[in-house]
Amino acid sequence: MSSKFRALILLTMLFAFVVIVLGAYTRLSDAGLGCPDWPGCYGKLLGVPDTETDIAQANADFDRAVEIGKAWKEMIHRYFAGTLGILIFVISLLLFRKDENGNRHIVFGLVLASLLVFQALLGMWTVTWQLKPIAVMGHLLGGFAIFNLLGWQWLRTLSFSQLESQRLPADLFGLSILAIVILICQIALGGWVSSNYAALACVDFPTCQQKWWPPMDFREAFILWRGLGIDYEFGILEHPARVAIHVTHRIGAVVTAAIILIYALRLWGSSDASSPLRKVSGLVLLLLAIQIILGVLNVVLHLPLANAVLHNAVALLLLFSLVSSTYMIKYART
């Protein structure tokens, strides 16, 4: 594919990364309902109510009082998301056309465009359903999926001729898929922790409330649908349910880290010193170490905003590093 198309993909990936980080920042700074309507903000498509008259009118028209700072956080996120949507739409159209090799990528373009539409709906439902955890978690996963689909398309524009003679263990591809699936499940758990305000249910480490197995309510912790009309801002669960979510995420972190570590070490040992696979396996190990440290710091430092946002960003990069290694293994096998 042309260098211009490759540059467009890379630009769109950058925008997707910014949108995901802004979304995490918006959510973690409790600005997810900074605008109680969608797609505008207190009825305004451009800007937010900022004059005394506009604020008074917005307060009269909506149940939620205007908080200018939170409203701007939400709208800036939406503006970037809207720009990203335009870029993805353009890429989808370009994928319908023949490339320089005479190939069309219609299915990929349709999947990307469909995911974009569904992601926009999830963004709307996140607001109109008042931060319903299943919508918030789904919106997070949708953003990660879009970034990695774009990344897969970007990888297809690159040449990995060094891998053509690379011999790899037959089970390595399956292990890479397992690592990706486990990490996605852990990311979903992280979204469930955040959307249920369970990050500070345990403030000590490695124990929780000075116990290895504190009182927990798993029955209430993982109810995905509780109906509409409930305001989920700051959470509705009792403490034992939040502890159950938090501890489950910790257990998931141990399992996820073990599987990714095994995979990355296998990949490192199976690839040549000059191979891109050796480099990407090193990157996986580095990002895994950083992510573990950030997760621990979230607990012991009581969830500092910058650290929590970075925890989201590194999770995205870790997932893409796994996806990249999977693409390279697939390339080497063909």
Active site (catalytic) residues: 74
Residue 39 makes CB contacts below 8 A (sequence gap 6+) with 45, 78, 124
Instruction: Return the structure tokens found at 194.
Output: 């955040």
Q: Which residue has the tokens 């504190």?
A: 214
10 Å CB burial of residue 153 (0-12, 13-18, 19+) is buried
**Distance between alpha carbon 136 and the CA centroid of its chain, in Å?**
11
Which amino acid appears at position 299 of this protein?
V
Instruction: Return the structure tokens found at 49.
Output: 């109510």
Residues 104, 284: Cα–Cα separation, whole Å:
32
Query: What 3-state DSSP class applies to 41?
Result: strand
Secondary structure (DSSP) of 162-224: GGTT----TTHHHHHHHHHHHHHHHHHHHHHHHHTT-TTS--SSSSBTTBSS----HHHHT--
**Distance between alpha carbon 15 and the CA centroid of its chain, in Å?**
13
Determine phi and psi for 211, rounding to 5 degrees: -130, 150
Number of Cβ atoms within 10 Å of the Cβ of 55: 17
